Chains A and B, each alone.
Chain A
């Protein structure tokens, strides 16, 4: 049976020129996203996960690579063609404060994508659609003329979700959508996103640094380290059987809110992430890896499939 992939990304690269040299923000990343599923991308700050989210939407122009969305390589589209693709692919941002224009009311913000794409021109129908969207994301109608600063973080995040949904997208990049929210509100938003996915058959790329959130939310997980995907597997597989030393450390570093008589033994990584500038040909994680060997600093290991669907980029497998 053919798998129905909404997104196929191969060898995606994004380099930035900096004063220190070329920054390999995203360095040859390939993945696919099955329709109606969620791919979680996890990693620490500076690993390139947000850059991936923006380059697959071409909000940042990729340096090279192929981004096939519903079969079309959107990296080859011109500005005009790209604009007509935009309604199908949307984004939800991390910061519910900076992601909304402070001078525009809830209704103005939600209707903007609709009017920009000339989807509904009739005034009354437009109002009706806005009301429907607000209802869908659980925003009371009385907030229709409120300004963002009058609302709390959770409600603001709902506005951002309504804005993304307004053009009936098939695919949404969720860039840390709950990181800025308190736990009780975080759960509300996660449940909403899940419910919308079921109802509308949405496909998500879910970018986060929070392992327990990604575990709850995703079908597949890709772990990023310094611009490279170091491990990718279905979620149960990754959590029960992590292979890459970095994934192991990441999982063990998560504080678990459960009482234990004995403190659990954590893998504490040495050192910190450096920025991926002017990289030599070696495993990027070797400097912090407890299992590093000579092999690791000779050549960068390729991403290999060790079990069906489970890819790892490490010499020691």
Chain B
């Protein structure tokens, strides 16, 4: 693939948190590629390492206790991990911006929303303050808030509106890559629909690439072109949405689908994944999912599964596929 077509490349990233209770292996050697102008979904449950991955890309891992042990992150040609803080400040906002989960805490309560948008414009562009405020108003209009409300303080806005402001701040410098970390988890469904549509439309008109972190496979199906499924700090399956949803390969991904109530078939039985997510300070040897996996064999507990490429875009990390006849239940039907 031509490097010009790649917005973000993460190579062999390892993130750990060293605490008194042991070392938390948050991200264990992951590879991730986001193509330009496409949307990659990063799916996983609490503690899978999704947020740590996002923070590493932003070079914002809190240190201590966090350490990026290994890996390369290439953001639109910039090697961010080797950058100085001052250089990184210029990249953040301009090249990559982030939308956080909780719009309530992402805004400064003592500044008006107009000032907050203008502030991030001024960080990257040499324009006057009045011009920046004018731009801020335009940004507000674009995310569907009346420009007159630029003088409002965050507490005067509802949750959905605050998330719109956060999106305006993230997009005001037209970043190449937008990282959205559970952008709608704190919002109601009808507001979620509004915000997702807004993000989708803006992404189209700004030609922004996106990494969308979520636990909701429904949102992935609606928003993303490609998806990576994360479990215990590793990517266990990735591919286009079509491949992962219609030709699911990894037992964990299958488990996620089986755990979801199907809105179109209320009599379908829910089959939860048994057991719990492993302790990130003490991951099982071999495949981290093996203790919960219904297909696990002795081999699975011995070594970390290798990435197996099924097509140019579809990868699964599961030892069972070394036997060519292996099929998960979902694919037998």
Binding site for B on A (CB under 8 A): 44-45, 152, 154, 182-188, 190-191, 209, 211-213, 215-217, 235-236, 239, 249-250, 252-260, 263, 266, 268-269, 272-273
Contact = CB atoms under 8 A, between A and B. Distances in A.
7 contacts: A44-B188, A184-B259, A255-B216, A255-B219, A259-B241, A259-B242, A272-B191
Contacts of A45: 188
Contacts of B46: 182
Nearest to B270: A187
A284 B81 CA distance: 53
Given A183-B215, A255-B216, A257-B220, A266 B197 contact: yes
Interface residues of B, number: 44
Interface string B245-278: 1100000000111111111101000111110110
A62 B149 CA distance: 38
Contacts, number: 115
Q: What is the predominant secondary structure among interface residues of chain A facing chain B?
A: helix
B197 A191 contact: no
Contacts of A255: 192, 196, 216, 218-219, 221-222
A39 to B, nearest CB: 15
B108 interface: no
A236 B266 contact: yes
A269 B263 contact: no
A182 B241 contact: no
A185 B220 CA distance: 20
Most buried by A among B197, B221, B241, B271: B221
Interface string B157-183: 010110000000000000000000000
Contact of B255 (A44, A184, A250): A184
B45 A183 contact: yes
Contact of A257 (B190, B242, B245): B245
Nearest to B240: A259
A59 B242 CA distance: 48
B217 interface: yes
B60 interface: no
